[in-house]
Amino acid sequence: MCLNEFFDREKILGLFKDLTDNRRLPPTLLFTGNSGHGKREALIDIAALIICENGRGPACDCSDCRRVRGGNHPDAVWFEPCGSPPSIKIEQIRELRRKIILKPYEAKKKVFIIFQAEKMTEGAQNALLKTLEEPPAESMLLLAAPNAGGLLDTIASRCRIIKFRVREDPASEPERREIIDDFLSLREEKVEELFDCQNRERFLSVLKALQGFYRDVLFFKSGADKKLILNKERQSEIFNLSGFYTSDSLRGAIGFLNEMAKMANFNVSLRVCILNTAAGLKSVRGAEV
Ligand SMILES: [Zn+2]
């Protein structure tokens, strides 16, 4: 198991933020990776980053970010397959072409997202090509597909490709639930009991599960769509905790767990890793507002 897989969303957001901060943003990005938890939410986050001027990322709770997440911002436009069998049709791309040349309604840039872009018909892809050849200055196009091979070469070669490794590990689902059950029922001073000091894999699983949980709280706090919550069976606790933590303390907790995972991957003694993690988690709990 590679814990880093879990952080790809953050990695992609970091890369993206770097590109926007340095104004080096190519007009068309293609996100590749298999379907699963994470790709859609990353695209939502990125669309919000492009539109929102606060630069606060997924924790931002401004009206722009809330509307992007809710799918009702006029400058963030989604295209997805429709019909049976589902495909993205030439009419949809013509609609995109009509809209993409208009000025943004509110933001500085418009974002067009083509989800499951591999389902574009050949006619649709050829129609899109004209836009890629002359991208409008005030718009960005984000495409998502399992791999670049699912698109015509003429399309893929005009995109900056960002690989998205998706965390897909259904076998760990029961373990994740069990870890979160234990975490929520343990008293603060007993948090060490989550870990098994003989088993480094278990340590990484706990970190991964806790990070997902804190990420859910952060998501809930920022008004993200509930569909994106990983620990769906724990929605009431997530809702309650979202009122107790600040966004900064949640981001801090996620970053801290990331650091602990790195430490464990560098073969630091497992006992030291566990002690540090337990102390950190206690201080996170102590940071409730
Ligand atoms: Zn915002």
**Rounded Cα–Cα distance for residues 177 and 209 (Å):** 8
Beta-bridge mates of residue 28: 141
Ligand 1 centroid to residue 63 C-alpha, Å:
7
Ligand 1 centroid to residue 50 C-alpha, Å:
9
Ligand 1 centroid to residue 193 C-alpha, Å:
39
Q: Say whether both 184 and 142 belong to one domain.
A: no
Whether pLDDT at 121 is above 90 = yes
pLDDT class for 168, splitting at 50, 70, 90? very low
pLDDT in tens, 11-36: 666 667 766 666 666 788 888 876 65
Ligand 1 centroid to residue 10 C-alpha, Å:
17
pLDDT in tens, 211-242: 889 988 988 887 777 777 888 889 899 998 88
Q: 3-state DSSP call for residue 230?
A: coil
Q: Say whether both 150 and 209 belong to one domain.
A: no
**CB-proximal residues (5 Å) to ion ligand 1:** 52, 54, 60, 62, 64-65
Domain boundary among the residues 123, 147, 163 is at 163
Vertex 186 angle, CA 4 and 284, to 5°: 55
Q: Say whether both 68 and 87 belong to one domain.
A: yes
**Rounded Cα–Cα distance for residues 195 and 259 (Å):** 17
Q: 3-state DSSP call for residue 163?
A: strand
**Rounded Cα–Cα distance for residues 59 and 220 (Å):** 10
pLDDT computed for residue 194 by the predictor: 84
Domain boundary among the residues 141, 163, 185 is at 163
Number of domains in the chain: 2
Ligand 1 centroid to residue 65 C-alpha, Å:
4
Domain boundary among the residues 94, 128, 163 is at 163
**Rounded Cα–Cα distance for residues 250 and 260 (Å):** 15
Determine which helix (DSSP H) or strand (DSSP E) holds 162, and give its type and residue range.
Answer: strand 160-163
Q: Say whether both 153 and 217 belong to one domain.
A: no
Q: Say whether both 140 and 208 belong to one domain.
A: no
Determine which helix (DSSP H) or strand (DSSP E) holds 203, and give its type and residue range.
Answer: helix 200-221
Ligand 1 centroid to residue 67 C-alpha, Å:
9
Ligand 1 centroid to residue 60 C-alpha, Å:
4
Ligand 1 centroid to residue 188 C-alpha, Å:
34
CATH of the domain at 48: 3.40.50.300
pLDDT computed for residue 116 by the predictor: 92
**Rounded Cα–Cα distance for residues 175 and 158 (Å):** 42
Q: Say whether both 143 and 67 belong to one domain.
A: yes
14, 276 contact by CB (below 8 A): no
Ligand 1 centroid to residue 9 C-alpha, Å:
18
Q: Which residues contact 155 (CB under 8 A, 6 or more apart)?
A: 125, 128, 129, 132, 143
Q: Which residues contact 174 (CB under 8 A, 6 or more apart)?
A: none
Whether pLDDT at 57 is above 80 = no
**Rounded Cα–Cα distance for residues 25 and 38 (Å):** 22
Percentage helix, strand, coil for the chain under 3-state DSSP, each rounded to 5 = 60, 10, 30
Q: Of the candidates 130, 59, 72, 121, which has an alpha carbon nearest to the alpha carbon of residue 101? A: 130
Whether pLDDT at 166 is above 80 = no
- Percent of the chain at pLDDT > 70 equals 84
Ligand 1 centroid to residue 104 C-alpha, Å:
17
Average confidence (pLDDT) over 263-288: 80
Ligand 1 centroid to residue 52 C-alpha, Å:
4
pLDDT class for 167, splitting at 50, 70, 90? very low
Enclosing domain of residue 65: 3-163
Ligand 1 centroid to residue 42 C-alpha, Å:
15
Q: Say whether both 19 and 116 belong to one domain.
A: yes
Beta-bridge mates of residue 160: 29
Q: Say whether both 224 and 157 belong to one domain.
A: no
